[in-house]
Amino acid sequence: MIKLKLKYLTCLLIVGGIVYSCQKKEEYPVIPEIKFESLLKIFNPATMVYDRGVFKISFKDGDGDIGLNESDILPPYDYNFFISYYELQNGDSIRVIIADSNEFNARIPVLTPDGANKSIKGEIEDTLFIYNYQSEFDTIKFDAYILDRALHQSNVVTTGWFIRN
């Protein structure tokens, strides 16, 4: 009876191991890939304009080296989420650089998963100020890309043009 239980347990472990090993692990390129998901405008009742927006992207990275440590503060590791602001001015797409700012650049914290498989995917949201009070133009867009810790640059995504009001 013990031999029968041992054979049954061994067979069960082998079948379980085969099923587990047949599960496909998600694999992505080591260069990050991003996709624009949405930009949700937020209305400010105090100013009566949509002055902020939540910019959302999804990402995939094969080696999971997305994100900066708190101690990473010097270039090229000061920012890893780069966002550019454009206005449609008299029919021309003009990149607008706001004085005394790092534009809309942001820091993504370390997202590297534990374990042997470092492939990672997910979503990132960043709240941006979308209303330029110094401009008379109201049609805008944002472009964005990310850098991983190996300084691999992702593809560039865009929100497409939209009216900020």
Domain CATH for 41? 2.60.40
Who wins on pLDDT, 112 or 45? 45
User: Which pLDDT value is given to residue 115?
Assistant: 84
Average pLDDT, the chain: 86
Is 4 a member of any domain?
no
* Segment 68-86 mean pLDDT: 94
Those residues with Cβ within 8 angstroms of residue 33's Cβ, 6 or more apart along the chain or in another chain = 59, 60, 61, 154, 155
pLDDT at 114: 84
Q: Which domain holds residue 41?
A: 26-163
Distance of alpha carbon 76 from alpha carbon 20, whole angstroms? 41
- Domain assignment present for 10: no
Which pLDDT value is given to residue 132? 86
pLDDT for the residue 8:
54
Considering its fold, how many domains does the chain have in total? 1
pLDDT band at 143 (very low <50, low <70, confident <90, very high): very high
pLDDT tier at 4 (50, 70, 90 boundaries)? very low
Domain for residue 110, yes or no?
yes
Predicted TM-score (pTM) of this structure: 0.81
> Could you tell me if residue 141 is inside a domain?
yes
Average pLDDT rounded to a whole number, residues 148-155:
97
- Is 128:52 a contact under the CB 8 Å cutoff? yes
Residues 6+ apart with CB under 8 A from 67: 80, 108, 109, 110, 111, 112, 149
Residues in the chain: 165
Q: Tell me: pLDDT of 124 over 60.
A: yes
Other beta carbons within 10 angstroms of residue 156's beta carbon come to 13
Peptide bond just before 109 cis, omega within 30 deg = no
Residue 12, pLDDT above cutoff 50: no
